[in-house]
Structure 1
Amino acid sequence: MQPGKLSICLIDDDRIYQFAARKTIEATGMAGSVMVFSNGLEALDYLKSHLEDVSQLPDVIFLDINMPVMNGWQFLEEYQPVSEGLKKNVIVYMVSSSIDEYDINRSKEFQAVSEYILKPVNKEKFSELLSSVTP
Structure 2
Amino acid sequence: MSDKPLVWIIDDDDISKYVMKRNLKQLSVTNVIGFPDSVQPLKILTDNFDATDELPDIILLDLNMPILNGFQFMEEFKVANKNIKKDIQIYMLTSSLSSDDIDRSKLFPEISEYIIKPIQLRKLSRIVDRVLQD
Alignment match, 1:5 = 4
Q: Describe the superposition over 1:34-69 as per-residue Cα deviations: whole angstroms up to 9, x where unpaired.
A: 111111112101212221211000001111111001
Amino acid in the other structure paired with 2:24: I
Give 1:32 shift.
4.3
Identity level (%): 35
Alignment match, 2:13 = 14
Q: Distance in 2 between matches of 1:78 and 1:62?
A: 16
Q: Stretches of 4+ moved more than 6 A in 1?
A: none
Q: Distance in 2 between matches of 1:84 and 1:22?
A: 29
Amino acid in the other structure paired with 1:59: D
Q: SS of the counterpart of 1:6?
A: coil
Residues 1:129 and 2:118 are matched in the alignment: no
Aligned length: 132
Q: Distance in 2 between matches of 1:32 and 1:86?
A: 24
Q: SS of the counterpart of 2:131?
A: coil
Alignment match, 2:65 = 67
Residue number among 46, 49, 52 corresponding to 1:51 in the alignment: 49
Normalised by the length of structure 1, the TM-score is 0.93
Q: Describe the superposition over 1:48-103 as per-residue Cα deviations: whole angstroms up to 9, x where unpaired.
A: 22212110000011111110011101100000011121111000111111111111
Normalised by the length of structure 2, the TM-score is 0.93
Contact 2:10 2:35 in 1 (8 A): yes
Stretches of structure 1 that go unaligned for 5 or more consecutive residues are none
Alignment match, 1:99 = 97
